[in-house]
Structure 1
């Protein structure tokens, strides 16, 4: 006789094993980080590990050991190419145990070469400082703008404040300075690597409020995420030169950023 307390799961009419972890994964209560691995190395590894630890402390009240995470990534890569797209998901801890981690390994994704076209949408991610699993809203808007021929959605608050892309951070060029919007947004690892590299190169950057009506005043723009850095050629009806000098410099600095052994 089947234990009535045992969950039953069917996928397309077929029963599958009722692993309690599956229910945690389906709940959406968790967070993750995404990285591109080349030769068993990743840019900004310390930033990825800090993000995972900080979010685990905020969501679950306990830390996440970075060496444990590194070991699990290495283990997941052991029978695959050392070039890969890797994600580390963290879910609610089991009773009496630590946080549940899930590492996924997929084929590597090359850095985007083509300039991106952005379409502004009225949406802000909840708890935007976290790379959490509640991504329906941003994915919904991303799919809509792609149907209109754009590459990325630019998330804008009701007062017109620019925050971030659906899956990117956005930066602007003003003279010799990089401007990042000061609004609720994820501090993306690639953006943080860029800030570090700009500091090393002695190049100025700042974070300040940017509104959608300010966009036309900038000389260029770019987006960044785990796949790399891409120039922006347009936001709505405003066009930017894809080869703006500072955008080229930003991309070069990122490509030259050091890689860390996992």
Structure 2
């Protein structure tokens, strides 16, 4: 699989890069099918918001063309885009001038079991809590230590994902995914103003639900409310939608709303 740095084939980055030193950057994980980067507009919108928040100068239009060319080389797989503030000397102050570094890494598509989408997955309840930082909430920055520690909490392959909460006990997201629940025919997903990643698939599902006439609310959700939900599912840009089959002894079946959204997503993305 190809690897590009600043638009040309390469295998390394400068040792003074601030992404390596401080996690000073952003990333996107993009599904590529038949040489096309899926949901690219949504990925670039989130990246642009992240660059604005972190004050990283980046030309989005030229990057779009670069990703599209890279996707043609990947064919079917994953394109991971990393954007850092570039290199600098010691210290936290922004380097002057700033010159963002772009990394594109190709990898094969994950081999997810078909049963995850059809029968649902078992969800681990993580003890690691997400810290609140509204300035970083929603964007996909390079600081992922909370997710690293949360994922280290289980080794049992029977769990496909982990549930993460904030320090107030609000349900936020999966370790590598966003979460939705269904209550009395209404779709709900956690608000992400304090922490969490606003996933591109989450945004797509919210828009889909509106087109399908399904009410979707974005608000705070507690664990007790989640456990009383009629349906629960996870989503991300690689696996689409996985129903949650079990969490902390609570068992669900794949529900009708989940099926509708899965089928609509399948048609939209071409399988």
TM-score range, shorter chain: 0.7 to 0.9
Native 8 Å contact 1:163 1:182 kept in 2: yes
Distance of aligned partners of 1:111 and 1:252 in 2 relative to their CA distance in 1, 3 Å threshold? farther
Hey, what's the Cα distance between the residues in 1 that align with 2:256 and 2:13?
53
Native 8 Å contact 2:189 2:219 kept in 1: yes
In terms of Rg, which structure is larger?
1
Counterpart secondary structure, 1:67: helix
1:254 aligns with 2:254: no
Distance of aligned partners of 1:50 and 1:111 in 2 relative to their CA distance in 1, 3 Å threshold? farther
Distance of aligned partners of 1:203 and 1:112 in 2 relative to their CA distance in 1, 3 Å threshold? farther
Name the count of aligned residue pairs.
240
Mark the runs of 5 or more structure 2 residues left unpaired by the alignment.
1-10, 88-95
- Pick the aligned partner of 1:124 from 118, 127, 130: 130
Hey, what's the Cα distance between the residues in 2 that align with 1:240 and 1:136?
30
Hey, what's the Cα distance between the residues in 2 that align with 1:191 and 1:19?
32
Hey, what's the Cα distance between the residues in 2 that align with 1:98 and 1:158?
36
Native 8 Å contact 2:18 2:86 kept in 1: no
Native 8 Å contact 2:37 2:67 kept in 1: no
Deviation beyond 4 Å, 4+ runs, structure 1: none
Q: Which moved more, 1:95-104 or 1:211-220?
A: 95-104
What is aligned with 2:229? Answer: 218
Mark the runs of 5 or more structure 1 residues left unpaired by the alignment.
1-16
Task: Give the aligned CA root-mean-square deviation in angstroms.
Answer: 2.4
- Pick the aligned partner of 2:201 from 190, 193, 197: 190
Distance of aligned partners of 1:21 and 1:52 in 2 relative to their CA distance in 1, 3 Å threshold? farther
Native 8 Å contact 2:29 2:80 kept in 1: yes
How much does 1:258 deviate? 5.1
What is aligned with 1:178? Answer: 187
What is aligned with 2:251? Answer: 239
- Pick the aligned partner of 2:83 from 85, 90, 93: 90
